Structure 1
Amino acid sequence: MTALASDHEDVEEQEEGSARKSDWNAEPAAAAKTLAVFEAIGAAPNGLRSSDIVQLLELPRTTVYRILTGLVDRGLIRKDKRRRMFHLGARFLQLAHDANPAPELLAAAHIELRYLRAATGETAYLSVRDELQTLVLECCHGVHSVRPSSLVGQPKPLHCTSQGKAIVAYLDGEERAAVLKQLTMQRMTDKTIVSRKRLNSELQQVRARGYAIDDEESLPGVRCVGAPIRNAKGEIAGALSVSGPSFRLDQARIDSIGQELVDAARRVNERLVAEVSIKQDARVEPVGEDIRVEGASPVACAEGLFMIDRQGAAVVRVHGGKLQPVHRPGEAPLWLTHDGHALLCGTSESVEALAFGKGKAATSTIMRTWRGTAPSLVCADPEGRLWAAQADGAGGWSLRCLDMQRTERWHLDQQITSLCWSADGLRLFAACADARTIFVMTLEDTRVRRFVSVPEISGRLGGMATDRNGALWVALRHSWSVVRYSGDGALTKVIGLPVPDPTDLCVDAASQSLYVTTSPAAITAEMASHVSTRSSLLRIDLSGG
C-alpha cells in the first residue's frame, strides 16, 4: 500500500470511526472550515499537528479530524507518521502545476529572475496578465531584510504597477484602448495615477524607454521597475520586474535596472522563440588525419588558415591537410589574430606582424614593451584595432585598446579566458571559464553585462568566434560539442563532434566554415577504438545555417 493511500488510516486512531468519507463535508459551513484547515497547513512550512490546527482555528477536535481524513484521502495533504505532522500533499502539487497559466514562460524566465536578484540584490518578479489585473507567477526574494514581498498568485492592479503598465503599454492599439476603458482607476497611494489620459501618456513613455516605473504608486515607500516579455508569436506574454524600497531605488539605479530588465526580457523571448537545433557529426569532417597537435588561436584569413602549435611553440599554416611551421618567435606564442592587414603573433615580450610572400613569412616587430603584465589575450576588432585582456595584479582583469590611450575600458573581477568581437564591431564578448559566464560590452557603455551562463555539466568555456549573422560560436572544453548562441543569448544550436575536448575555433566567412581545434591528449585508450578520427582540427560546414 502506498504512503498516500495509507496516510488517512492514521489521522487519529480514536477518531477513525467518525471520519467517514461520505460525511466529512456534509455540514453547510464545512467548505469554509475545510479551506481554513487546508490554508493553515499550507502556511506552515514545517507542517502542523492536529492539535495545532484545533488550537489555531478554534474548531472542535472531531471536526478537524474529519476534515484531515478527507484531505488525506484525496491526496491534498499527507501525514508524517513519525512526527505526526500534516503537510501539503502530492495531489495539491499536481493541481498547482496544472493551474500554472504559463509554464513555458516560467521555465524560460527562471534563470533571469535569479540573475536579476543576484545582480541587484532586490526582489525579482515574473507576472502575467489576468484580464484587468496581473498575477505574480514567480518571485526571487532579495537579499536585504527590508524588502517588499508579494506572494505567488497574488493579483495586482494594472494601472499602478510596473508589471501592469509594461504589459498594457505594449498591447496593440485597439486592445490597449479597450483595457484602459475597463480599468477601475482605484487610488492606492497619493502617487497613484487615476486619470486615464495621464495613464495613457505614461504608457507612451514606457514604450519610448522600454520599461515601466511604479514610483510608490501601488505601495508607499516602494518603487518597482518592469519590462514586458513577448512570446514566440510576438505577443505580450508577461513582465519581469525588480522591486525595492524607494531609499535604495533612486532614479539613477532605476534607469540601470530598467535596461537590465529590457535585456533580460529579450533573452526570455529568445528562449521562447528559439528551437535548439541538435546536429550530430554529419557536417563535421577532419581537416587532415596527420594533424594531431595542441592547437590554439585559429585564424582564417586571405593568406590561409593559421593557428598556434602549443607543443612546437610555433605559428603554423594548414595546407593540404598538413601543418607547415611559418614562424617560431623567440618566446612561446600566446595569441594570434589578424588586424585586416597582417597576421599578428603575441608573446610575453612583443607583438610581431607576419607578412607572406612566396609561401614564406617575413616578420616585423610592431610593439616591444607592455604596460604592466603582458596580455594573455588579444583580438582585433573589424577596424583592425587591438584589444587586450590583462591581469591587474589585484585579482581582476582589465580590457583596453592597445591602439588608443591604452587606459582601462572595462574591468572584470574574474579571469578572462577568451575574447572575440562581433562581426559588426559593436560588441566585445569575454568568456570567464571559472565563472562559467560570457560577458558582453559595447563601445558606448562602460558597463559589463552578462550575456549567457553555461551549466557546469555542459563543459568549460573555451574559444569563441562570431559569424556574419551575429551568432556566437563557443567551444565547450571537456565535452564533445560546440554550441551557437543567438545575438540575444539564446542557445540555438548544438553540434556533436567525433572527438572530445574542443579548445578553440574560428569562422571562415569566405568558405562558410567553422574550424575547431581539439586536444589530442583528451582521447583516452577507451575512446580510441570508438572515435572516427584522430585529427585535432575539424571543419564544420555552415552553409546550411
Structure 2
Amino acid sequence: MSSIDKAIQVLETVCDNPEAIRFTDLVARLGLPKSTAHRLLTTLLDHGLVRYDREDQRYSPGYRLLSMAQRTWERLDIPKVARDHMQRLLHEAGETVHLAAVDGHEIIYIDKLESPKTIRLYSAIGKRGPMYCTGVGKAILAYLPEQQQEDVIAHTEFVRHTAHTIPDARALRQALADIRVRGCALDMEEHEEGVRCVAAPIFNFRGEVVAGISVTSLASRMSTTRLQDLQSLLLEVARDISRELGYLQPNDHSRPGGQEAS
C-alpha cells in the first residue's frame, strides 16, 4: 500500500469517527506502525486536513476540508456526472430517461435521453413541470426538508391534468410518505394520459436531494409488473450518481427514490 493510500485511510478514519479520535485508537484501528501514523498525521496537520486538540489529545477533521468540498461541489455538473449512468439506464430499460432538478416550486428538466421507440412526451430539456403530479417532481419533493416541502405544497395549484392527478395537499402528503417508505415514486398517468414513469432522487455530499432521475414510457408498455421490475435498476443508478456527487449512505439508501413525470 502506498503512502498516499495510507494517508487517505488515516484521513477517512478521522472523518468517519463520530467524535474526535485519540492517536492510540487510530493506530489500533488501522494497524499501522506508530511512527508511520504519526508521520502521516503530521503531514495532514500541515495541510489543514486534520486538527489536533492538545488538551484532549484527539484528532478531528480539518477546516480546510470544508473549503475543498465547497469548491468541488461548485464545479460539479450534475448532467455531466449523470450522463453515463443515464446511458446505461436507457440501454437496459429501453425507455426514455429524464434528469430533473428543483427550480423554485417546480422541477426543470436538465437532461433527457430519448427512447428508440416512438413516444411523444411533455418533457424537454429546459422545460418546467409541476412537482405534485410528475414522477421526478414527487421523488424530489418527498426528500426535501420539511419546511421547504411545505412551502412547495402551499404554493401548489392542484390542477387536474388527468383523472389520476393528485387532487389536494392531503393526498399529496400521503403520497410523499408512501414514496419515502417505498424508496421511489410512480407517475401513473397523473400528468399525461397514457404515460407512466418511475423515478428516484439523487443526493449530494451533504445528503441533500439535488435532482431526480426517471424512466418514462407509454402506459401500454409500463404495466405494474414492468414498473416494479425497473425500480431496482433505477434505484441502483440513482445511488451510483449520488455516490459520484459525494453522497455516502450509512448502509444502503435510507432515502431512495421516486418517480418521474411525463
Q: TM-score band, normalised by the shorter chain?
A: 0.5 to 0.7
CA distance in 1, matches of 2:120, 2:228: 19
2:109 to 121, 136, 150: 136
Say yes or no: does 1:157 pair with 2:130.
yes
Match of 1:248 in 2: 221
**Which one-letter code corresponds to 1:244 in the other structure?**
S
Q: Map 1:8-47 to 2 at 5 A.
A: none
Query: What do the CA deviations read for 1:406-459 (whole angstroms, capped 9, x no partner)?
Result: xxxxxxxxxxxxxxxxxxxxxxxxxxxxxxxxxxxxxxxxxxxxxxxxxxxxxx
Match of 1:104 in 2: 77
Match of 1:188 in 2: 161
**Which one-letter code corresponds to 2:162 in the other structure?**
T
Cα shift at 1:146:
3.3
More helix by share: 2
Cα shift at 1:123:
0.2
**Which one-letter code corresponds to 1:259 in the other structure?**
S
Match of 1:207 in 2: 180
The answer to whether the 8 A contact 2:142-2:180 is kept is yes
Say yes or no: does 1:234 pair with 2:234.
no
Say yes or no: does 1:221 pair with 2:194.
yes
Cα shift at 1:174:
2.1
Matched pairs, number: 177
Cα shift at 1:106:
1.1
3-state DSSP of counterpart to 2:221: coil
Match of 1:45 in 2: none
Match of 1:179 in 2: 152
Structure with the greater alpha carbon radius of gyration: 1
The answer to whether the 8 A contact 1:148-1:245 is kept is no
The answer to whether the 8 A contact 2:206-2:247 is kept is no
Match of 2:6 in 1: none
CA distance in 1, matches of 2:197, 2:94: 13
3-state DSSP of counterpart to 1:273: coil
Distance 1:227 1:127, change over 3 A: same
Match of 2:37 in 1: none
1:146 to 78, 95, 119: 119
Unaligned runs of 5+ in 2: 1-73, 254-262
Q: Map 1:377-396 to 2 at 5 A.
A: none
3-state DSSP of counterpart to 2:220: coil
CA distance in 1, matches of 2:199, 2:102: 13
Q: Map 1:459-478 to 2 at 5 A.
A: none
The answer to whether the 8 A contact 2:106-2:128 is kept is yes
Tell me how large the CA RMSD over aligned residues is. 2.1
The answer to whether the 8 A contact 2:141-2:149 is kept is yes
Query: What do the CA deviations read for 1:366-387 (whole angstroms, capped 9, x no partner)?
Result: xxxxxxxxxxxxxxxxxxxxxx
Distance 1:259 1:199, change over 3 A: same
Cα shift at 1:150:
2.2
Length-normalised TM-score, structure 1: 0.31
Match of 2:99 in 1: 126
Q: Map 1:374-453 to 2 at 5 A.
A: none
**Which one-letter code corresponds to 1:154 in the other structure?**
K
The answer to whether the 8 A contact 2:207-2:247 is kept is no
Q: Map 1:46-61 to 2 at 5 A.
A: none
Select the structure with the greater relative contact order (CA < 8 A; seq sep ≥ 6): 2
Distance 1:244 1:147, change over 3 A: farther
3-state DSSP of counterpart to 1:190: coil
**Which one-letter code corresponds to 1:185 in the other structure?**
F
Query: What do the CA deviations read for 1:344-398 (whole angstroms, capped 9, x no partner)?
Result: xxxxxxxxxxxxxxxxxxxxxxxxxxxxxxxxxxxxxxxxxxxxxxxxxxxxxxx
Identical positions, percent:
30
CA distance in 2, matches of 1:230, 1:241: 14
**Which one-letter code corresponds to 1:120 in the other structure?**
A
**Which one-letter code corresponds to 2:87 in the other structure?**
R
The answer to whether the 8 A contact 2:76-2:245 is kept is no
The answer to whether the 8 A contact 1:122-1:142 is kept is yes
1:168 to 125, 141, 156: 141
3-state DSSP of counterpart to 1:233: coil
The answer to whether the 8 A contact 1:229-1:238 is kept is yes
**Which one-letter code corresponds to 2:83 in the other structure?**
H
The answer to whether the 8 A contact 2:96-2:114 is kept is yes
CA distance in 2, matches of 1:194, 1:274: 34
Query: What do the CA deviations read for 1:7-48 (whole angstroms, capped 9, x no partner)?
Result: xxxxxxxxxxxxxxxxxxxxxxxxxxxxxxxxxxxxxxxxxx
CA distance in 2, matches of 1:127, 1:102: 18
Query: What do the CA deviations read for 1:444-493 (whole angstroms, capped 9, x no partner)?
Result: xxxxxxxxxxxxxxxxxxxxxxxxxxxxxxxxxxxxxxxxxxx99xxxxx
Cα shift at 1:103:
5.5
The answer to whether the 8 A contact 2:185-2:199 is kept is yes
Length-normalised TM-score, structure 2: 0.64
Cα shift at 1:232:
1.2
Cα shift at 1:196:
0.7
